[in-house]
Homo-oligomer: A and B are copies of this chain.
C-alpha cells in the first residue's frame, strides 16, 4: 500500500501505522488535500527521516476533470501539472500520479492516471463526450402512474444527488424523494414496468448499493458485492 501524505502529522501517523511507501500529495489547484508545491521537498525529507520510502508525488486536478470545454480543461490540466512537476523535481521518485476520467488523454505528464469513473460512467461525465459509455444504472420498478407522470421505486437513498437529478430515457425527471423518482415520460409506462435510471454521479450512487449485477444483454451473469461502503 502506498499512501499519500501532505503534512508532518500524517507522515508521522503513516510511519507509526507501519506504512512503508508514500507519495507526497500536492495541491495542484483544487483546494482539498495536498501541500503547496514549494513544501513538497521538505515533506519528502521528513518522510525519509521517518524511514518511509518516497515513491514520488500525487496531485489530482479535480477542478479540471469536469470542465465541459475541452480546451479549457486541457489548459487547467497543464497548469496543474506544472505545479506537480515543480514539486516532483524537489521530491524525486518514479511516480507522478494525477489525471482523471476527464483528463485521461490530456494529461501527458503523469506516469499514473487516476481515472476510475470511466469504467461505469454517469450522466455528468457523459456530457463531456468521452469515448466511454455509461454502464451503470439503477433498475427500478414503476409503482404508480398519475396524470401525465409516473413514479418508480428508487430515489434519494439510491442515487448520488450532488450533480442533480438522474436521467430516464424518453422521460423528463421531475424530482426525487427519499424512495421515489417522479418522471414525465413520452410514452406512459404501466405499473410493474422496469426502467433504467441513470445516475448523475456514479461514486456516491454506488456507495448506496450493497451489490452490483453484471449484465450480458438482459441476462445477469454475475453479482459483485460493493466493497468499502459504509462509513
Using CB atoms and an 8 Å cutoff, list the residues of chain A in contact with chain B.
6-7, 9-10, 13, 25, 27, 31-34, 36, 62, 138, 143-147, 149, 151, 154, 156-158, 160-162, 174, 176-178, 180, 182, 190-192, 201, 203-204, 207-211, 229-231
Q: Is the CB of A62 within 8 A of B177?
A: yes
Q: What DSSP secondary structure best describes chain A's contact surface?
A: loop
Nearest B-chain residue to A209, judged by Cβ:
B231
Known: A31-B174, A180-B32, A230-B209. A9 touches B157 (CB 8 A): no
Partner of A191, one of B9, B151, B178, B203: B9
6 A-B pairs whose Cβ atoms sit less than 8 Å apart in the complex: A6-B144, A33-B144, A157-B204, A178-B203, A207-B208, A209-B231
Q: Is the CB of A36 within 8 A of B231?
A: no
- Option from B27, B31, B32, B231 in Cβ contact (under 8 Å) with A154: B231
B204–A161 contact, CB under 8 A?
Answer: yes
Q: Copy number in this complex?
A: 2
Residues of B within 8 A of A158 (CB): 231
A147 to B204, CA, bound (A): 28
Q: Distance (Å) between the CB of A197 and the closest chain B CB?
A: 11
Residues of B within 8 A of A192 (CB): 9, 13
